[in-house]
Chain A
């Protein structure tokens, strides 16, 4: 195995792909597996979205949040998307630490 002097970072999954996958999951949820989507409604005008997904690993929280909001708007429409005040993407490890389940 050759020795390299520079780390080649694996390319992060494309935003468009993740957005499309998430939209598909929102429209036709699978019985099990990832992404796991939790939709919490503290009141009729507020939605908290949590998406537990290993694919978030290399993405910043801001990017994860943007993908979730965009996918939710694609799947449920802008009116529903405007109710979202928490759009949090977490890996399974992060979810466990934050008490999201």
Chain B
């Protein structure tokens, strides 16, 4: 059985995204140490996207073992928006307001703007010219997102 078939044997769940976010961030940090700065940013950005999505889905009532597709289809019917960090940031703010939860931490919006200015999903097609400083700052921002994920999802 090919690797793809193994991965696709089960539907993606919320906890798959959560664990992937955690692992991709760890890999981004490892890539920074290896001076692979562009790819480090790319992976850390994917991690940020997954952390934002799982925060939205959890606020919307998803459990860790739930498949993501119903939540994804509900939150982002337009597939073009599914890799847009700013969209997920806004979605989270709207959902939290809808459920009467506390506002997001003040640093959150500013941080997402910064991450959004650096990352886009299609950057994987670019050879890349990121510096050590670019990658370090980016990864630190995504680490903040990971460390404050609890405050975003509850």
A residues adjacent to B (C-beta < 8 A) = 42-43, 45-46, 48, 60-66, 69, 82-88, 97
Contacts and interface: CB of A to CB of B under 8 A. Distances in A.
Contacts of A97: 6
Interface of B: 6, 10, 13-15, 18-19, 22, 54, 58, 63-67, 146-147, 149-151, 153-154
B150 A86 contact: no
11 contacts: A45-B150, A45-B151, A61-B13, A61-B65, A65-B63, A69-B64, A85-B15, A86-B15, A87-B64, A88-B15, A88-B64
Of listed A61, A69, A85, residue having the most chain B CB within 10 A = A85
Contacts of B146: 42-43
A65 B154 contact: no
A43 B22 contact: no
A61 to B, nearest CB: 5
A87 B14 CA distance: 10
A66 B65 contact: yes
A85 B151 contact: no
A85 B6 contact: no
B71 to A, nearest CB: 13
Contacts of A46: 149-150
